[in-house]
Amino acid sequence: MIALIARRAAASLAILVLVTFLVFLVVYFSPGDPVAIMLGRDASGETADQIRRDLGLDRPFLVQYGAWLWSLLGGHFGTSITMHVPVLDILVPAYVNTFVLALASLAIALAFGVLLGVLSGLRAGGWFDRLAAAISEGLAATPVFWLGIVLIWLVSKQLRWLPSSGMYNLRGSHSLADLLAHLVLPAFSAAVLAIAIIMRLTRASVIDALNADYARMFASAGMSTPRLLFTQIARNILAPIVSIGGLQFGTLFGGVIFVETVFAWPGLSAQLYNAITAHDIPVIQTGVLMIAATFIVINLIVDLALVWLNPRARA
């Protein structure tokens, strides 16, 4: 098991290094001059050239990449060109906010998706199964930003049940209850597609498990459907749910940009948009790297969880 973990971790590290190269490559060849942004209109040619030499921007591509990678290994992620503060001071709070939103969306997606999928699988072909299938199709076809706007209009403006934007009330105490109230609408909006995907997978897994020989044997022996579900079938459908859950978390983490924009959620999307607009290279590089690293770590955790759930995969 330790050797397997080491192999998976080494492969993940190699992928992360490749990601750093691709990120640096894209930013290096993107249009725009960071020195011109730093100096503005009043910069002379000599001043700009001196700053390029000081920052190492006059060196070859591979030399610049090596220096940047070495600084990352030392924990130095650079300073924002436009805000003149360490990059991590800008991105870490935004990263935490995006992580919280993605995690809440995943919890909602798993709760609704697994429940509807199990009930549909147990009643395959019945009226509930057809109703759940229609709901799934509707959720999958619903644009996230449109749903967010509708929820704001209905739940916040008309019914006044929940706040419409932000992460906390400006005059509030930043309590957990305040956070949860602001989290419900954006988390649900982001989760709709994941609910449909998880529901379909769970339904198919339940139907396959019910048609398996062992399930038929237990059912013929008089075991009730609820007991069969919780004692036998649950173990067999857990692995695909864990797999799709990890995949959906990565998708949610990288895809909540529309939700964060609609609900003014202070996450990574706003910071990266501002950085791209201002061509703030250190912020862009670190932000994209943080997102990629999250994908890689989540995939590693899911792989190890699947191995733990299925000991035969350790071979």
Which residues have a Cβ under 8 Å from the Cβ of 222 and sit 6 or more positions away?
none
Tokens representing 18 are 């490749």
User: What is the CATH number for 300?
Assistant: 1.10.3720.10
Domain annotation covers residue 79: no
Domain annotation covers residue 78: no
Question: Own/partner pairs for 218-221, CB < 8 Å, 24+ apart?
Answer: none
Domain annotation covers residue 82: no
Question: Own/partner pairs for 17-20, CB < 8 Å, 24+ apart?
Answer: 17/69, 19/289, 19/292, 19/293, 19/296, 20/68, 20/69, 20/72, 20/289
Q: How many CB atoms lie within 10 A of CB 197?
A: 19
The pLDDT of residue 106 is 92
Task: Looking at the structure, tell me whether residues 118 and 244 fall in a common domain.
Answer: yes
Domain annotation covers residue 278: yes
The four Cα atoms 276, 281, 286, 287 give a dihedral, to 10 degrees, of 0
Q: How many CB atoms lie within 10 A of CB 57?
A: 16
Q: What average pLDDT does range 176-200 have in this prediction? A: 88
CA distance 306 to 239: 6
Task: Looking at the structure, tell me whether residues 150 and 291 fall in a common domain.
Answer: yes
Task: Looking at the structure, tell me whether residues 197 and 110 fall in a common domain.
Answer: yes
For 86, list phi and psi in degrees, rounded to 5.
-55, 140
Q: How many CB atoms lie within 10 A of CB 24?
A: 21
Task: Looking at the structure, tell me whether residues 152 and 48 fall in a common domain.
Answer: no
Q: What average pLDDT does range 157-170 have in this prediction? A: 81
Domain annotation covers residue 239: yes
User: In terms of pLDDT, which residue wins out, 80 or 40?
Assistant: 80
Q: Which of 107-121, 213-227, 260-274 has the lowest mean pLDDT?
A: 213-227
Task: Looking at the structure, tell me whether residues 9 and 141 fall in a common domain.
Answer: no
Task: Looking at the structure, tell me whether residues 134 and 34 fall in a common domain.
Answer: no
Range of the domain at 20: 2-73
Strand segments, DSSP code E, in 40-134 are none
Task: Looking at the structure, tell me whether residues 119 and 230 fall in a common domain.
Answer: yes
| Per-residue pLDDT band at 104 (split at 50, 70, 90) | very high
Task: Looking at the structure, tell me whether residues 206 and 303 fall in a common domain.
Answer: yes
Last residue of a domain, one of 73, 108, 129: 73
Q: Which of 33-47, 125-139, 148-162 has the lowest mean pLDDT?
A: 33-47
Q: For residue 195, which of 251, 263, 255, 117 has the smallest C-alpha distance? A: 117
Task: Looking at the structure, tell me whether residues 50 and 9 fall in a common domain.
Answer: yes
The pLDDT of residue 107 is 93
DSSP one-letter code for 79: B
Last residue of a domain, one of 73, 102, 128: 73
CA distance 75 to 29: 25
CA distance 141 to 276: 30
pTM of the model: 0.83
Task: Looking at the structure, tell me whether residues 132 and 271 fall in a common domain.
Answer: yes
Tens-digit pLDDT profile for residues 43-85? 567 777 777 777 777 788 888 888 888 888 888 888 888 888 8
CA distance 20 to 25: 8
Task: Looking at the structure, tell me whether residues 35 and 135 fall in a common domain.
Answer: no
Q: For residue 11, which of 236, 315, 296, 308 has the smallest C-alpha distance? A: 296
Domain annotation covers residue 107: yes
The number of distinct structural domains making up the chain is: 2
Provide the percentage of residues in the chain whose pLDDT is more than 70: 92
Question: Would the pLDDT of 296 be above 70?
Answer: yes
Task: Looking at the structure, tell me whether residues 284 and 139 fall in a common domain.
Answer: yes
User: Could you give the maximum distance between any two Cα atoms of the chain, in Å?
Assistant: 88
Last residue of a domain, one of 38, 73, 108: 73
| Per-residue pLDDT band at 172 (split at 50, 70, 90) | low
Q: For residue 202, which of 136, 253, 249 has the smallest C-alpha distance? A: 136
